[in-house]
Structure 1
Amino acid sequence: MISELCSLNRRQLVLQILGLGLVITSALVIWRSLVYLTNSESPMVVVLSGSMEPAFFRGDILFLNHSKRSISVGEVIVFNIEGRKIPIVHRVISSYSGKTLNNTNYLTKGDNNFGDDTVLYAAGQPTLSTDNIVGGVAAFIPCIGRITIIMNDFPILKYSVIGILCFLVVLSRD
């Protein structure tokens, strides 16, 4: 494959690099557009477990909207817990208003779980604060996120696909 790249003339090599740059730039523009439109730093997440079935299934892609409005009971939200890398997608089952407007706390539960999420929260944290919430679910696409799950579960498959795509790009230079 390296000999194939070395045999390219300058114009072909520049076109290959520009094509790759265009693909990467397009992905970044789409991502930044979603960040702007949804007003969320994380505009999309993939459902990784079956805790929200039948509302959302493993592999569904969720589009988030993080506005400054209050969250209502029954709404599906995505939240982060201190010490955990992966956000959680669950439904708000109750809210508790504090003394100030920004001091509302929430209790969540997965639709397919038996109990509430207090066991998931950080130690000494009985409910979620607004700081924990990444966003509310605005829309979703079913099943497309399964590709992400498969690639994360089988890293060798991910690197094989990347290698095959690179090989095909080199072959398609004609």
Structure 2
Amino acid sequence: MNKHQLYYQILNFAMIVSSALMIWKGLIVATGIESPIMVVLSGSMETAFHRGDLLFLTNFWKDPIRAGEIVIFKVEGRDIPIVNRVIKVHEKDNGNVKFLTKGDNSEVYDRGLYKEGQNWLEKKDVVGRARRFLPYIGMVTIIMNDYLKFKYAFLAIMGEHVTLKCES
């Protein structure tokens, strides 16, 4: 491989990475949320969503939270956000809103998932609201996290592909 081919490959890779970052930043601005795409990791929301579904999220603060809406929330002491349905909403005259969630496939409310002593969620706990989804597309992410050998094999194949493409 000569210098021109190497420079071309480097520039091509940089263009792909920068395009992906621009698309990601555009999604952040358009949806009002730091992470506009999420993979469902558990079966608590079956039949609405299944493990591995890819969710597209928004979170516009002026939109009121309503019963029946599917929210993604994060509670103190848990690293991974939780996807569940709002089942009860309490609105006070001062504008304060508290709500309770439950997975469609769960038998009990989510109070056991909230931080100790917390009985209700507030708007500040919501990191997103499910708007659209693609079924099972996120299984690739789950497989790569659950099976490290698959992840390393995939990376090795991709590396070999890039190397062989550069040589040709």
Task: Give TM-score scaled by structure 2 length.
Answer: 0.94
* Alignment deviations for residues 17-69 of structure 1 (CA, whole Å, 9 cap, x no partner): 11221221122122112111111111011001111011001110111110121
* 151, 161, 167: which one aligns with 2:154: 161
Distance 1:82 1:141 in 2: 29
Q: Which stretches in structure 2 are left out of the alignment for 5+ residues?
A: none
Give the corresponding residue for 2:76: 82
Shift of residue 99 of structure 1? 4.8
Identify the residue that residue 106 of structure 1 maps to in structure 2: 99
> Cα RMSD (Å) of the superposition?
1.2
Write the distance in 2 (CA, Å) between the matches of 1:98 and 1:120. Answer: 24
Q: Write the distance in 2 (CA, Å) between the matches of 1:107 and 1:145.
A: 27
Task: Give the partner amino acid of 1:155.
Answer: L
1:115-164 CA-to-partner distances (Å, cap 9, x unmatched) read 00000000111111111101111111111000010011012221221121
**Structure-1 residue corresponding to 2:87:** 93
Structure 1 gaps of 5+ residues are: 1-7
Aligned identity (percent) is 46
1:47 and 2:53 aligned: no
Distance 2:144 2:19 in 1: 22
TM-score (norm 1): 0.91
Deviation at 1:100, TM superposition (A): 2.5
Aligned structure 1 segments of 4 or more residues deviating by more than 6 angstroms: none
| Residues 58-73 of structure 1 mapped to structure 2, 5 A cutoff | 58-68=51-61, 69-73=63-67
Moved more, 92-101 or 49-58: 92-101
Q: How far apart in 2 are the matches of 1:24 and 1:85?
A: 27
String of CA shifts for 1:72-122, please: whole Å, max 9, x gaps.
Answer: 000001010111111100000001123522x21110000000000000000
Count of equivalent residues: 166
**What is the rounded CA distance, in whole Å, between the counterparts of 2:2 and 2:78 in structure 1?**
49
Aligned counterparts of 1:15 and 1:100: Cα–Cα separation in 2:
60
State the secondary structure of the residue aligned to 2:33: coil
Say whether residues 1:142 and 2:135 are aligned partners. Answer: yes
